[in-house]
Amino acid sequence: MRKLLALTLSMALVAALCAYLVWTQERPVGHYLSDLRINLAVDQGLPADRGNLLGIQPELFPADYQSLERLHLKLAAYLSKARDQGLINEKTIVVLPEHVGTWLMISGEKNQLYQAASLKEAMNWLSASNPLLFLRALISAQGENRMDDAHLRMKASSMARDYQVLFGGLAKEFGVTLVAGSITLPNPSVSQGQLQVGHGALYNTSLVFDRDGLPLGQPQRQLYPIFNEQAFIESGKERAINVVDTPAGRLGVLIGSDSWYPDNYRKLNEQGAQLIAVPAFVVGRDAWDKPWRGFKSASTPSEVSLKPEELSEGEAWHRLSLISRVPISQASAGISVFLRGQFWDQGTSGQSFLSANGEVFANGNARGAHLLNLWL
């Protein structure tokens, strides 16, 4: 009797395991309906032959990442609208927001993940649907927050491939230089024209693609990850700030609150940066209008006298992003572009803005997708 019971239990366990393994391979695609509209919020200057900075503040949701085709559809619709309005030419530099590539970690997953009520629940579905990838990533995780590290690391190779296919493809399709927001990857680098992932720590990085869809230079790593990301994203301060040549001029990229540090602009000045792109991301639906909580990293520049809570988050971004403020920055123009949308229970805020000749031109409407254009 005991042998029969043991055999029955063993067979039940095997059957359950087989059913689970079959379930992990299933990827049914749910119905997709997304708003492809985008409004021109800021159009500053007059068309000339020097090109333009074009920021795309998208409004994105988890379902937009279910497949590469879906995300391409939405971003291409935004670019098509810009082209229809005469905002795209061979010298156009398009700038996308921070972490627009990081969410590629949820591409190709089950409907339950996209329908989850919270980010935590969604990540549980991600782990359960990819048990071997998750376990291998958890073993390799290096951050203090090993779970978040593993979730970002587990699909790094496919994320890097999709990032280059999508954003390099968009750059070539529309004939523009494209600052592809940012993506979090383990020790990324470009080798023989391809974005590669390595071993070691995770870095929040940005890559620029030229009009042929090829990477310009090496990935720019974020120098000062914010507090709530330092447990799984490493500082890239040991690497130099990159400046790349584009048809519109020499371009530097500062990720997120890296744009708050005066010394970063001095380094860009030394390399002759004429234009500065800032892919950015602010978590919290109403965070833009709430009191500023101070520098989001362990380091506070000595030149900055602002104190926490004496102004709003949005006002701090305008004050601290020193683009075009001589003598700190000698660049002629810059743009800060924020990711908008709703990622489960994680709302976003941030209103993109342009800067030229010491003036700031802001997007005053926080809702929806927006284009911001600055003629150079």
* Distance, CA of 154 to CA of 134 (rounded, Å): 6
| Residue 74: other Cβ atoms inside 10 A | 19
Q: How far is CA 224 from CA 90, 103, 169, 215, 304, in A?
A: 33, 20, 29, 23, 16
> Which domain does 252 fall in, by range?
40-375
pLDDT per residue as tens digits for the range 345-366 = 999 999 999 998 878 888 776 6
Determine if residue 368 is left, alpha or beta; phi over 0 gives left, psi from -120 to 50 gives alpha, anything else beta.
left
What CATH number has the domain bearing residue 203?
3.60.110.10
Residue 20 is assigned to a structural domain of this protein: no
Would 28 be classed as within a structural domain?
no
Q: Write the CA distances from 301 to 162, 273, 285, integer angstroms.
A: 37, 21, 28
Residue 13 lies in a domain: no
Residue 360 placed within a domain: yes
11 domain residue, yes or no: no
Quote the number of domains for the chain. Answer: 1
180 touches 190 (CB < 8 A)? no
Q: Is the pLDDT of residue 221 over 90?
A: yes
**Per-residue confidence (pLDDT) for residue 7, from 0 to 100:** 52
Q: Is 199 within a domain?
A: yes
Rounded to whole angstroms, the Cα distance separating 243 from 250 reads 6
* Burial readout 86-115 (b: 16 or more C-beta within 10 A, e: otherwise): ebbbebbbbbbbbbbbbbbbbbbbbbebbe
User: Pick from 39, 34, 190, 164: which is nearest to 104 by CA?
Assistant: 164
Read off the pLDDT of residues 92-142 as tens digits, 9 standing for 90 and up.
999 999 999 999 999 999 999 999 999 999 999 999 999 999 999 999 998
Tell me, yes or no, whether 16 lies in a domain.
no
Three-state SS at 94:
strand
At 256, give phi and psi (nearest 5°). Answer: 55, -130
Tokens of 236: 């890239």
Residue 166 lies in a domain: yes
pTM across the whole model: 0.92
Does residue 314 contact residue 375 with C-beta atoms inside 8 Å? no
pLDDT number for residue 20? 47
Mean pLDDT to the nearest integer, 277-300? 88
